[in-house]
Amino acid sequence: MSGYIQEDLSPEELAHRARLASSIAGSVRDLIDATVRTEVDEADIDEARRLIEAATAILRKDQLPGPFGIRFNTDGTKRSWGNAVLGRRNPIAPPVVLHHEPDVSWTEVELGAAYEGPAGLVHGGVLALILDQLLGSTAEYQQVPGMTGTLTVRYRKATPLGRIRGEARVDRVDGVKTFVTGTISVDGKVTAEAEGIFILPKWARGDKSDVLRRSVGEG
Ligand SMILES: CCCCC/C=C\C/C=C\C/C=C\C/C=C\CCCC(=O)SCCNC(=O)CCNC(=O)[C@H](O)C(C)(C)COP(=O)(O)OP(=O)(O)OC[C@H]1O[C@@H](n2cnc3c(N)ncnc32)[C@H](O)[C@@H]1OP(=O)(O)O
């Protein structure tokens, strides 16, 4: 399967690239929030556009031919820096930082104006996006990874924009299928519940899944 790349970078080089990735993505994320909320006049919009287009031209000077892919590091960690939820380099990603404990994986993330659905509330698709990754990464961390086969979300209460907490646990494993449950909560109250069935695809069964199972955690 293409897009999975082994890269041998020194820890110093990796740390350096991580800093660069986070800094540019953070600036663009701030730009997205500023764009959603700006009230400036046309002259300021024109000036801002000129500067943004100049910045884009600088970044376009040297580009990957396609998406970032998933890169495996020598220490066994991997980088999914283009990932839509976790991607360190991806300003569309909230970004979600996952914490894995023996029985539970969790995240706390601040969702601002760019993630709005109903007025003042988090878009349901954004919650599903976060739950998909959280539940999928939980399965991966427990060494029973898979692609999302089915994700079911029950929205119990509206989720206001701001700080949310996600939690997930592996419920059971049945052959190549891992069943994971999770919640989104705000101020200790559950606003959404999910169940995901993660399936190890045929192409990743056997020896390849051993490689994958050893490569957990984001570098
Ligand atoms: C270097 C190696 C790398 C290997 C990587 C491999 C896997 C891990 C991938 C990622 C893990 C990492 C992190 C996870 C974190 C992220 C979460 C987000 C992940 C995504 O964003 S991912 C994108 C959205 N996702 C898709 O793009 C899936 C498209 N789809 C397919 O790729 C296939 O459709 C697949 C694989 C789902 C199944 O295909 P298949 O041919 O392998 O399965 P097969 O027929 O063998 O069925 C086996 C058993 O699963 C049952 N079954 C089949 N399909 C089901 C379904 N949909 N729901 C419930 N159960 C289902 C059968 O009924 C049978 O059950 P039973 O054994 O009981 O009969």
Whether 182 and 122 map to the same domain: the answer is yes
Beta-strand ranges (E) seen in the chain are 4-6, 70-72, 78-79, 99-100, 105-111, 147-155, 162-174, 177-186, 189-199
CATH of the domain at 111: 3.10.129.10
Given this model, what pLDDT does residue 1 score?
Answer: 61
Rg value, the chain, Cα: 19
Where does ligand 1 bind, in terms of residues with CB under 6 Å? 4, 132-133, 136-137, 140, 145-150, 175-177, 197, 199-202, 204, 208, 211-212
Q: What is the mean pLDDT of the chain?
A: 93
pLDDT-based confidence at 75, cuts 50/70/90?
Answer: confident
Per the structure, the complete domain to which residue 172 belongs is given by 96-216
pLDDT-based confidence at 64, cuts 50/70/90?
Answer: very high
Residue 4: exposure state from Cβ atoms within 10 A (0-12, 13-18, ≥19): middle
Structure tokens at 155: 């929205």
Domain-ending residue, one of 95, 124, 139:
95
> How many domains is the chain partitioned into structurally?
2
Given this model, what pLDDT does residue 98 score?
Answer: 97
Q: The pTM is what?
A: 0.94
What ipTM does this complex have? 0.94
Residue 219: pLDDT over 60:
no
Q: Whose CA is nearest to atom 18 of ligand 1?
A: 133
Domain-ending residue, one of 75, 95, 115:
95
Whether 11 and 47 map to the same domain: the answer is yes
Half-sphere exposure of 60 (CA within 13 A, CB side): 6
Residue 8: pLDDT over 90:
no
Task: Give the residue-averaged pLDDT of 115-131.
Answer: 98
> CB 123: neighbour CB atoms within 10 A?
16
Given this model, what pLDDT does residue 213 score?
Answer: 61
Whether 114 and 161 map to the same domain: the answer is yes
- Which of 77, 96, 98, 147 gets mutated to test ligand 1 (max ligand atoms within 8 A of its CB)? 147
Whether 160 and 179 map to the same domain: the answer is yes
